[in-house]
Structure 1
Amino acid sequence: MADPSSYRPKPGQIPDSPGVYRFRDEHRRVIYVGKAKSLRQRLANYFQDVASLHPRTATMVTTAASVEWTVVSTEVEALQLEYSWIKEYDPRFNVKYRDDKSYPSLAVTMNEQYPRVQVMRGPKKKGVRYFGPYGHAWAIRETVDLMLRVFPVRTCSAGVFKRSAQIGRPCLLGYIGKCSAPCVGRVTPEEHRELAEDFCDFMAGRTGTYLSRLEQRMHEAAEEMEYEKAARLRDDIGALRRAMEKNAVVLADATDADLIAVAEDELEAAVQIFHVRGGRVRGQRGWVTDKVEAVDTAGLVEHALQQLYGEEKGEAVPKEVLVPALPEDTPALSQWLAERRGAQVSLRVPQRGDKKSLMETVHRNAQQSLALHKTKRASDLTTRSRALEEIAEALELDSAPLRIECFDISHLQGDDVVASMVVFEDGLARKSEYRRFQIKSFEGQDDVRSMHEVVSRRFRRYLQEKLKTGEWSPEEGEDPLAEDDGRPKRFAYPPQLVVVDGGQPQVAAAKRALEELGVDDVAVCGLAKRLEEVWLPGEDDPVVLPRTSEGLYLLQRVRDEAHRFAIQYQRSKRGKRLKSGPLDEVPGLGESRKQALLKHFGSVKKLRQATIDQICEVPGIGRKTAETLAAALAGAVPAGPAVNTATGEIIEDETPAHAGTSFERGTGQ
């Protein structure tokens, strides 16, 4: 725990201008990012008497080991830079909103030649129009099913589209009139794109004009006694009205607005957002966060605006944003939103009328979301803390291991030897920092040597990053570890505890690897599967934790996750090797060319049936290589358990994932 006075900047060193500041810990990891109108005044608040600070702020400044800042010209620039750094560094003491569930959106892929309507989740892609998010995927499909009658836009996947084009027949939707069948040329690309644009306009809320146009065409058809056409238009209008009725009118003036409400307590906060377009609620989403920094409602609103609109541009940012409290830098935020929309954006608190009533509804949803979240997590935080304390006590550590890394080895009878590294922080998996390794320094089944190699490689990266930042320098005659192959800098953050999947030999190998590199501040233990015993370096007897111990349960979860990740990687390598089969024996055919051939033809069987000219069509395959390949495949006699000798097809390994073979687990036990 650092003393803030040890890294406090000298008087007059901090500029009195807008900027963004970063606090870093002893490993140079960014733990907090903030912005200020005046860097001098804001940073001075952090270097008061620690006892007078908010408990969360006190924890942050005592965890930090240094502070740095960047001066900018305006508050808007500070806001933009703060958002970029929070997204880049993911600081542990900044508020981070987590979606309380994954919300689907209705997406129209306008970046394709034939735009497709589909349900999408996850990050937004460039050139795709999004509507929502919706509470349920079935709600999107019901709406789309009604609207395809009027806007028969393509909804099929790329594979179905390509197949229909090859055989010259549309899919079922094309036959029943719910797709314009561009795959077989019933409409031109321009006509299909116009249908997609009309669909987007209708979903965006511009419904009145289109319905009026349909009604006019219906009356004209009736006057000309084209009763079948008039009936079809009547049914189309009815379908569109039913689709509109699914979203009740909440604001009579056809407003486009987002309403943001916050429900909070001392430890957590829930945010709910209603997306209103054309006066109707078009989507809803919610976030939940731990209040890891001292922040009030206005601060939570500011973070929510950054999270919501940081990646949005154009019409995705509405004309009006209604919030429960105005942030401190309201003018800067309004300007930032206006720049993202390309037009003026009103950021305000509703005071009366329909908008205030709707805001109360959004707030009730936020309260319910927080109550539900607390019900689910009530025992979770306590349990994780107790588990870490039990591990620290059992292993006689100075403090709870907030970062745990676990290593596992996996192979197939000595072939395709791989290793995994998984990371748990504060008792939760941090999948963005998982790593996997190929063991190439030797052949055969030797888990102990493999464990020594992978731990050495991981902590060699750690020392390399310390060398770059000047925090470590090699002694005379010591390997400077200066080579750099562009690995991510996440290896620069060491764990408090290394867990290996195995018993005493694997633990000894991991400890020896750390000692050879001079790393003496990382604890090591192993978890043996047989009796779930915890082994420590140099100890003849294991540590036996009670079966009901939360600490043992956490170690099991970490070990099992490393085991799963290692087997997943090993099976992917094995699948690639078996899939290429006879191609491995063809001289001059590398991995890239083998993958290109298999991707082009689909299987070795179809490749055998191809002519030399057809093989030459594959990128990277010349005529000489094609002739060599054809001769090799024609003369090759498939052999071995992985090949069907009658058909030449590769037989996939059907060993179930739960098969308990020792070579599959890679434990050697």
Structure 2
Amino acid sequence: MPGVYLMKDAAGTVLYVGKALRLRDRVASYFVPSADLGPKKQAMLDLIHDFDVVECEGEWEALLAENRLIKDIRPRYNALLTDDKTFPYLAVTLRDDFPRVEVTRRPGDPEFKGAKIIGPFTRPAALRKSVSLLQRVFKYRTCSLTILEGDPKNRTFRPCLLHSVGRCTAPCADRISREDYRRDIDRFLRFLDTRRSAMLRELRAEMQAAAAALEFEKAAVLRDQISAIEKLDERGRREQRWQPESEQFYADPRKGLASLQRTLGIDRPIRCIEAIDIAHLQGGETVGSKVCFVDGRPMRSHYRRYRIRTADNDDYAAIREVVARRYREAGAGNELYPDVIL
């Protein structure tokens, strides 16, 4: 059974978060006499007092769960996945007259507002290979050009090489109508939501034919293409909120602050906002997070995480603890409160 495991010390503090295809075998491997975790983690073995496991649907979900837990808990012995790097998404810019298809790690950027966002995907290389392969079938554009229907410049525009090799229908040069291009995009999106069995059967037949003809290089290419398409299913859904830090859309900060000021009925302009949220793992490992925005911009140097000491599965009590700890100095008159606390 795939999943993630959390190693804890005697106080219940998480020391390390890992993933495994076989949870039982992986966790057991830590406690055999010959276990060698390397110079940095070997000392952890003497501190392990207990562990928790979380079963997952597959390896892809274990990857996403591990990434989320490490970023939220920040265990002492985890060195990887502690940065702000995220798994990629597939974006289809449906607001454009001629939507483009793009792989991005920042689906919350303004350019993707109104786009169809799919993912996150746990296999970045396979995702990019699949996008390139499927472009031969659905002939969508991947460029960043602004292409407007009826623009007279399109008639004299020279399309790129992707059109010459049959991988793009060149809407930039009026080689396809908006309706026909949209139909291709709709077919592409429907394809992503299916099991893709027809295409996989065709590719497997080509691979077997190539192998029978001793064309092993061609067979190897087809094998890699099959593998890449199969890995398109190894993805989360945006509503699962695996990576909320990269999925938020940004509005004009000044307009947003002015709107918030009117909504709250505050007389003075809003400059500093702090927001507090609570996360836990199945009722335990409760942590609080505090983010800070000044003039509508994130101040990452003022972000904080709090290990909750007085509450477990009680978000209100956990928020009370974070507020008491965070604003102790402000309550004593040694610093200013933010304009808004969420």
Report the TM-score when normalising by structure 2. Answer: 0.39
Instruction: Identify which of structures 1 and 2 has the higher relative contact order when contacts are C-alpha pairs closer than 8 Å and 6+ apart.
Output: 2
Report the TM-score when normalising by structure 1. Answer: 0.22
Q: Which has the larger radius of gyration?
A: 1
